[in-house]
Amino acid sequence: DIQMTQSPSSLSASVGDRVTITCRASQGISNYLAWYQQKPGKVPKVLIYAASTLQSGVPSRFSGSGSGTDFTLTISSLQPEDVATYYCQKYNSAPLTFGGGTKVEVK
């Protein structure tokens, strides 16, 4: 099975900072990669799918890139409301594995 490795597992940044989270697949998955945001006590919400397509209604400060095995989620200017845990998920074929998550905090 393909493993999904996210890094870092947590980070703390200041408001306005550029934040980058990476997700690495152990084998190529083309662009079948989604990014989710889960705020404390809330349901996960998709931000990006197909590696780089922004879900409707998601602020443009979020962006995704990558293909094959290496993917990136970028928050161009971190806002207080972005405090959350972020997950990647592969969906090219089962198992639809999630990454371990990245907890983002604001300094």
Binding site for other proteins (CB under 8 A): 34, 36, 38, 43-46, 49, 55, 85, 87, 89, 91, 94-98, 100-101
Q: 39: closest CA among 78, 83, 89? A: 83
> Closest Cα to residue 78, out of 37, 4, 19?
19
CB of residue 91 vs other proteins: minimum separation in angstroms?
6
Report the nearest approach of other proteins to the CB of residue 1 (Å): 8
Q: Which is nearer to other proteins, 68 or 100 (CB)?
A: 100
Token reading at 51: 């590696």
- Coil, strand or helix: which one is 82? helix
Give min distance, CB of 93 to other proteins, in A: 8
Tell me which DSSP letter residue 65 carries.
E
Task: Return the number of the residue (16 or 43) whose C-beta is nearest other proteins.
Answer: 43
Q: Taking a C-beta distance cutoff of 8 angstroms, is the pair 81, 75 a contact?
A: no
Q: Name the minimum Å distance from CB 50 to other proteins.
A: 9
